[in-house]
Structure 1
């Protein structure tokens, strides 16, 4: 391509070979051109553009047309330098770009300025030495890209190089027309002016301190596609805070997205439903993120930059949508957890009631005729208490979020507890009991839990002794001790913290007892866990 162009430039315009050389050069250019790929299907517009360019080059060829054509070739080759990843292939593009700059400055521009003296001085260099550069390209290594894909033309750098080349040509012409100076002086002034301008632009583009730079401002503009991107994100974040569920957020976000000037219609499909807004135009973009499917319609064709912007917007919407769905799932999980904890606590309360009734029934079965009066007194005292506890349990079932409390004298509760477990051979030790009121609902729940566990342990080892000791001077401290084997270490570490494995229960009794004690201002702890001494303590300062 470059050698056919060089032959055209040396032979000049108006000779018999002009048409043949320009057609040959255009043919080689079409084989090399980096704009259209071999697999692309040419549209009618592309074909008409290529035909029009060929007609201009063949029938209306002039030095001005050649000058702008060289500027375009220089920009295309320079753009390939920046977009080519293989370092070995850059040398060929650099040589080609150097040849185009050399022939433009030393041959074509002097022709435009009619500086024949300078042209004669460079004629030998142009005709015999400059063609060595295109020939040298044939000896460079043309490595393929590692990705296997054709290199992408960097549009921004290509446009920048085209502008620089055009400024170089037009600047030289303007300086010569205004000053009538020698071509060498014109070239020096033009190159020096371009160098100063590029240095100033580079300093403004990425300054070392202070001003953020034109590059950052341009990047922000390209990111927002000319819109207040930060404001749009702020609006979406506010919708995420104000809406209560994913479906409501999606509807509000779609209305916010429709306010963008290049969006005419929307269509979305999510797990919570689907919908449409606006008008469906010819151009559209289909975007998918997680379970968030969005179609955006626009009157204008969606450029690659705008498509990337749309993908970013859809990803932001998808992240907020997934966050809302996770929030709903978490609320549902917390709700189900509350139901589970309430149900398991009530189940344990009913279990304690059944065990208390079983104890009374056992006492009635073992009693003799002589014990009738004592047994009747026991029933008269304990059955109303069991009835009250059963009624409170039913109240909890109807209103699970309401914690009930029942206060009574500590001494009265202690005596009732001793009578209730009088038939289970449990040692009750009283150090000192002050005249104070306590929440007997809490104490019944926790103590019955501890005592029933100890009684179940004694069924497997009848030699186990159980004791309960109470001390109430400034605070209330109750200790339940058994002489059985200790708990396994892994069970003791997680006791009162979460549900643990249990051989004869659900494993949630002590967990709920610990939580219930904590909510009432008490502390339930395992203070001793060794062979022969397993001691629990419930205390309140």
Structure 2
């Protein structure tokens, strides 16, 4: 039966091969433990057969293939180009031609270094034991089976060789029996290069030290190996003792880490100078100029050029090798006597990044300061606008009352004018005084009874009920605050009346447990969302700017009073102004009798 042409070409042979390779690489990634065990088993077979033999070379090529699948340096899914493929073929050919005991010795040391860099990255105890057993297998093969093969004089291992041949595979069996831990691909790729280099150097010292003791002292191989092991163990014991902090000594570990991290760059001194410049210079441009000039103190730097938004400059000489660093709006070009090392470049790049963050903070601080200034201007203007609006409403009420009078004014109207016009004039003068001298602490005190009488007369005939228990105490209150808050609340309640709502508006003055002013109306309650944010900022308003209550609340809090929404239910919406000693400056005079 012939397949259709479309089906024959839908999955070409190269596509199937790629799919098989992808599945094979994915399987190798999932089963790295088994790949490592198989790789070590082939290496053991190479050591037993001899690397120079034909069988040993074939097994060694298979071992290298498993290593390519297991190695944590390059992903197994990586596709090789022609150059990489040629290098791989050349390496396999070189192994097949020059495979010998010295090459195998160097390879085992490098492989042990890779495993040594993996041991300390796992918190799972069986996984750590797995890598320790693998490392022990390599070290035993290196010192017992491979190193004696490169000695100029043959070493009689006696029964130790067959014991090692058959005992080392038991380590591989123990590795297989260990429970498997969670080891993701990203976790497997982590290798501590310092530990890897340390293991490589340690094994090299053991091998070379054993050979040196054999040649200089005339000992046998195993005697020299034991002496080398004892010497290295003693040195490691002393280093381990002085590595960690003890008594008043910081420890070699701290000194070594500081040297590695600083790479010869006075990073701490530079950072201290940077913070000092940030504290001393509030302007972003002057701060950038002072901070960037500190790069001249770095070793090997002859000078440089820098640029930032709104500023640029130079320091030192410009001749030499140049290196450019950019982060955000900061650009720095350094001229050095010689090529900068990668560690030095990394440190300077980190410095420029930190400097850019400081510079951004300075710029944002300047913008916030400008915004705060504009906000203060806007709030002052809004508060004065609100006060003037209340004055105009009072004048409008007087004009309305005057329009209802006949040609001859009644005594009640003349009395109203006699009381209201001086009060309006006084409030207008206070508003102009705040406009000329906007001090936040400017407070005009007024007698409570006098203020209450004048305020009642101001709203006489407008359907506002005033309730107070007589006699009133002889207290002094911030009359401007009380008038502004009460005017705003009453006007809001009267707006509900004009919109067709209930007309009941009442103002209550309490003084039994402390002076408090309440303004209530019988209108609809405020929406819950609006009630939560009523005193936190501007709110939507159909009759004004929507900032009257916000300004009144801020003004009250600055003087030690608090404006709250005491009740918010159908038929009863009540605002209350009362002293709060925890806010601002409590008005003790207003609470005194």
CA contact (8 A) 2:446 2:478 kept: yes
Helix, strand or coil: the match of 1:371?
Answer: coil
Asked if residue 491 in structure 1 is aligned to residue 530 in structure 2, the reply is yes
Q: Distance in 2 between matches of 1:158 and 1:426?
A: 88
Q: TM-score, normalised by structure 2?
A: 0.65
Q: Are residue 505 (structure 1) and residue 505 (structure 2) matched?
A: no
Q: 2:401 aligns with which of 344, 355, 363?
A: 363
378 and 264 in structure 1: CA distance in 2 versus 1, 3 angstrom threshold: same
Distance 2:267 2:363 in 1: 25
The match for 1:301 is: 339
Aligned to 2:273: 235
How far the C-alpha of 1:164 sits from its partner, in A, is 4.1
- Pairwise CA distance, 1:364: 1.0
Q: What is the aligned counterpart of 1:284 among 318, 323, 327?
A: 323
Aligned CA-pair RMSD: 5.4
Alignment of 1:314-333 (within 5 A): 314-333=352-371
Give the 3-state SS of the residue equivalent to 2:347 in structure 1: helix
- CA 1:361–1:462 in structure 2 vs 1: closer, same or farther (change >3 Å)? farther
2:451 paired with 1:409: no
Report the Cα offset of residue 454 of structure 1: 1.9
* Cα gap change, 1:429 to 1:296, in 2 (>3 Å): same
1:197 aligns with 2:239: no
Which residue does the alignment assign to 1:46?
Answer: none
2-structure distance, mates of 1:76, 1:276 = 49
Map Cα deviations across residues 221-253 of structure 1 (whole Å, 9 max, x no partner).
211224554444333333333321332322222
C-alpha displacement of 1:176:
4.3
Deviations 1:123-169 (A, max 9, x none): 9x99xx99xx9xxxxxxxxxxxx999xx9998656754565466446
Secondary structure, counterpart of 1:432 in structure 2: coil
Gaps of 5+ in 2: 1-42, 54-63, 75-79, 84-100, 122-126, 169-183, 579-589
Taking a change above 3 Å as real, the CA distance of residues 224 and 428 of structure 1, as seen in their structure-2 partners, is: same
Alignment equivalent of 1:443, drawn from 482, 489, 494: 482
Q: Distance in 2 between matches of 1:484 and 1:188?
A: 99
CA distance in 2, matches of 1:89, 1:481: 79
Aligned residue in 2 for 1:389? 427
> Does 2:296 align with 1:258?
yes
Distance (Å, rounded) in 2 between the aligned partners of 1:94 and 1:297: 50
**In the alignment, is the contact (CA less than 8 A) between 2:266 and 2:298 conserved in 1?**
no
Separation in 1 of the partners of 2:554 and 2:245? 62
CA separation in 1, counterparts of 2:51 and 2:526?
100
Aligned partners of 1:445 and 1:513 also within 8 Å: yes
What does the per-residue CA deviation read over 1:167-187, in whole Å, with 9 as the maximum and x for residues that have no partner? Answer: 446544553455433444334
Distance in 1 between residues matched to 2:397 and 2:551, nearest whole Å: 23
Task: List per-residue Cα deviations over 1:83-107 (Å, max 9, x = no partner).
Answer: 689x999999999987776687324
Structure 2: distance between partners of 1:467 and 1:74: 96
Alignment of 1:105 onto 2:147: yes
8 A Cα contact 1:236 1:253, kept in partner: yes
* CA shift in 2, pair 1:163/1:525, >3 Å: closer
User: In structure 2, what is the Cα distance between the partners aligned to 1:251 and 1:340?
Assistant: 34
Distance 2:216 2:246 in 1: 38
Q: Distance in 2 between matches of 1:339 and 1:356?
A: 26
**Is 1:459 matched up with 2:501?**
no
Instruction: Tell me whether 1:419 sits opposite 2:460 in the alignment.
Output: no
Q: TM-score if structure 1 supplies the norm length?
A: 0.71
**Distance in 2 between the 1:170 and 1:471 partners?**
98
Count how many residue pairs are aligned between Structure 1 and Structure 2: 497
Partners of 1:79 and 1:384 in 2: how far apart?
96
Contact 1:71–1:166 (CA under 8 A) maintained in structure 2: no
Distance 2:196 2:502 in 1: 95
**2:172 corresponds to which residue?**
none
Distance change in 2, residues 1:154/1:351 (3 Å):
closer
Match of 1:312 in 2: 350
Write out aligned runs for 1:108-119 (5 A). 108-109=150-151, 111=152, 119=155
Question: Relative to 1, partners in 2 of residues 1:167 and 1:413: Cα closer, same or farther, differing over 3 Å?
Answer: closer
Distance apart, 1:72 and its partner CA: 6.4
User: Is the Cα contact below 8 Å between 1:485 and 1:530 reproduced in 2?
Assistant: yes
- Name the stretch that deviates more: 71-80 or 299-308: 71-80
In 2, distance between residues paired with 1:265 and 1:152?
A: 39
- Structure-2 separation of matches of 1:488 and 1:507: 15
The 8 Å contact of residues 81 and 94 in structure 1, kept in 2 or not, is answered as: no
Tell me the CA shift for residue 531 of structure 1. 3.0
Counterpart Cα distance in 2 of 1:509 and 1:313:
49
Counterpart Cα distance in 2 of 1:334 and 1:251:
26
CA distance in structure 2 between the aligned counterparts of 1:533 and 1:466, rounded to whole angstroms = 10
Alignment of 1:479 onto 2:518 = yes
Q: Which segment is superposed worse, 353-362 or 450-459?
A: 450-459
Q: C-alpha distance in 2, partners of 1:224/1:40? A: 41
Instruction: Kindly indicate whether residue 390 of structure 2 is the aligned counterpart of residue 352 of structure 1.
Output: yes
Distance 1:244 1:338, change over 3 A: same
* Aligned twin of 1:18: none
The answer (yes or no) to whether the contact 1:283–1:299 under 8 Å persists in 2 is: no
SS at match of 1:427: strand
> How many angstroms apart in 2 are the aligned matches of 1:538 and 1:367?
36
User: Is this contact kept in 2: 1:206–1:215, CA < 8 A?
Assistant: yes
CA contact (8 A) 1:392 1:404 kept: no
Gaps in structure 1 of 5+ consecutive residues: 12-28, 42-65, 134-145
Offset of residue 529 of structure 1: 3.0
For residue 538 of structure 1, what is the aligned residue in structure 2?
577
Shift of 1:301: 3.0
Contact map agreement 2:242 2:251 (CA 8 A) in 1: yes
With over 3 angstroms needed to count, the CA separation of the structure-2 counterparts of 1:191 and 1:377, relative to structure 1, is closer
Match of 1:181 among 198, 215, 219: 219
